[in-house]
Structure formats: structure tokens, C-alpha cells
Amino acid sequence: MAPALEVRNIFKQFPDKERGITHDVLVDVSFTAQAGEFISLIGPSGCGKTTMLRIVHGLETSTTGSVLCNGVAVKRPDHHRALVFQHFNLFPWRTVHDNIGYGLEVRGDDRGKRTDRVRLMLDLVGLGGFEDYYPHEISGGMQQRVGIARALALNPDILLMDEPFGALDAITREKLQRDISAILERQPKTTLFVTHNMDEAIYFSDRILVFGTKPGRIVEEVKVNLPRPRQADTIRASHEFAEIREHLWSLLSKEMQREDH
Ligand SMILES: Nc1ncnc2c1ncn2[C@@H]1O[C@H](COP(=O)(O)OP(=O)(O)O)[C@@H](O)[C@H]1O
Ligand SMILES: [Mg+2]
């Protein structure tokens, strides 16, 4: 059986308009994800993490290389892959209910089917009772719950999250991390997760792809063999956690030094 996701030899160049040249943003990036696996992409800013996620989603095309989702080449965005953004990207004129149901509407699901699915998602992310609120009437943490519910509503094969907790304060972030982790423990989903937070990457992941800059590429793949279900507090206090963190830090600081030169 084909892996849930296969990223093969991705090269991506962007034009540098100021200098009239092209620069290499991603160089020979390859990895696979098995169904239900949680994989983090971590690395200094500008190393191409967002670009990589957008290529997997189909929003961006690679210069060369290919992405296969369950053995089928990705050509454009479709409902097999759903993206959660750092800045939520909700429609301000739509209620919580209609934001969550947006993808279902685009897909052509009828009203009754949509409402049932949205209700299930509201419960899943803990937003029952808020369906008629507008995004500006709820907190950032709640807005991101809507973003996550909207992505999961389509029951995608692959969930893509680009620094989903990056715009939240520390306490909201912690709470949402725990809730998302609990949701994914109950219903494992193949996930690619971009972060530059090492603790977050270890807590969630089965594997962490450490990216380097100039050009963006995978420096090392770090396995996280911590048992599941994971309790945030116990995990963080463990010896294994400290060891992985130390290793990630040594890889990332090397990359940041390269960047400085
Ligand atoms: N549409 C674009 N046009 C030109 N350059 C881009 C574009 N998008 C991203 N880049 C460049 O590609 C590099 C990687 O960006 P990005 O994927 O956003 O990195 P990260 O998410 O790791 O911070 C950066 O140097 C950025 O300036
Ligand atoms: Mg980014």
C-alpha cells in the first residue's frame, strides 16, 4: 500500500525580483508519512517550512519533484488535504457554524448533512453554544478552534498545520495544545505540523524533520519514541524529552550560526 504522503525530491525556486535572479528555497526535500503519523517540520524562519506545506496542500507548485497523497499525485488543493493557518483565516462575515461548514458547502453537501457534521465538530473542539457567534466576538484561542474544526470537518486524509498556536498567548497555547493532542489521540490523523517551538514539536510528534536554511533542506530526521498517550507534564519532565530537546537545539543552533555568516 502507498504511504499516506510521499514527498519526492522537491526543489523550489522563487524569483528574487530585487536582484533579478532566482534563489533556491527548497533543495531535494524527500520524506514519507504513514497513515496516522504526526510529523513536525522545525527550523529557522525563512527555511521554507510554509512553502513546503503549501506545496503539499497544492496551493504552490514545486519547480521539480512530486507529492503523492495515498499514491495520487497532488496537482491542486482538494478536500483530501486541509490547512490550518497561523492567523486563523476565518471569514469575518460568517458565523462560527458557517465558517466550520464552509468546505462542506463548497463540496456541495446539503444543509442537513452540513449541520450534523458541524455540530459534531463543535463538540470535538469544545465550542458547543458558540455556533452563532462571529469571529470578532470570540477569543483568538476560540478562533483557532474554529480553524481546526473547519479543517477536520472535511475528514481530510492529511491535516496540515502552519504554526497554529503561534499567534496565541502562552496559556491559551498550552490549553489548545492539550486539547488538540487529545483529539488526535482519539482519532489519529496523518499530520504535518510546522513550528519553531521545540517542546511543541516533541510533545506532538512521531518524527521531527529538522530543516536548515540557505538553502532550505532537511538536515536530520529525529524520531520521538515517547509512549502515547502523552501527558504534557510527565513528558516534559522525562529524561528522553531533555535528550531530544538537547539534540534538536544543537542542530538548530548550528543552522542559525550558518545563517549569521
Ligand atoms: N511567493 C514568494 N515569492 C518569492 N519568495 C518567496 C515567496 N514565498 C516565500 N518566499 C521566500 O522563500 C523563503 C522561505 O519562505 P517560507 O516558506 O515562508 O519560510 P518559513 O515558513 O520557514 O519561515 C523565504 O526566503 C521567503 O522570502
Ligand atoms: Mg512560515
What residues contact residue 92 under an 8 Å CB cut-off, 6+ apart? 134, 135, 136
Count of domains in the chain? 1
Taking the centre of ligand 2 as the mean of its atom positions, its distance from the CA of residue 234, in whole angstroms, is: 30
Name which of 152, 179, 176 is nearest 164 in CA terms: 176
Q: Is 223 inside any structural domain?
A: yes
Burial of residue 223, with CB atoms counted within 10 A of its CB: 0-12 exposed, 13-18 middle, 19 or more buried: exposed
What does the pLDDT look like over 68-102, one tens digit per residue? 999 999 999 999 999 999 998 999 999 999 999 99
Q: Is 158 inside any structural domain?
A: no
Q: Is 200 inside any structural domain?
A: yes
Taking the centre of ligand 1 as the mean of its atom positions, its distance from the CA of residue 231, in whole angstroms, is: 35
pLDDT at 261 (0 to 100): 67
pLDDT band at 255 (very low <50, low <70, confident <90, very high): confident
Mutation test of ligand 1: which of 12, 13, 16, 51 has the most ligand atoms closer than 8 Å to its C-beta?
A: 51
pLDDT at 214 (0 to 100): 87
* Contact between 226 and 38 (Cβ < 8 Å): no
Domain with residue 7: its CATH number is: 3.40.50.300
Q: Is 111 inside any structural domain?
A: no
Query: pTM of the full predicted structure?
Result: 0.95
SS3 117: helix
Q: Is 194 inside any structural domain?
A: yes
Among all bound ligands, the one having the nearest atom to the CA of 18 is 1
Q: Is 101 inside any structural domain?
A: no
Name which of 92, 74, 186 is nearest 133 in CA terms: 92
From the CB of 50, is ligand 1 less than 6 Å away? yes
Q: Which residue range forms the structural domain that includes residue 196?
A: 1-80+190-261
Cβ-based neighbour number of residue 182 at 10 Å: 12
Q: Is 139 inside any structural domain?
A: no
Taking the centre of ligand 2 as the mean of its atom positions, its distance from the CA of residue 44, in whole angstroms, is: 9
What does the pLDDT look like over 40-63, one tens digit per residue? 999 998 999 999 999 999 999 999
Q: Is 15 inside any structural domain?
A: yes
Q: What is the mean pLDDT of residues 197-226?
A: 95
From the CB of 51, is ligand 1 less than 6 Å away? yes
Which residue, judged by its Cα, is nearest atom 18 of ligand 1? Answer: 50
pLDDT at 258 (0 to 100): 78
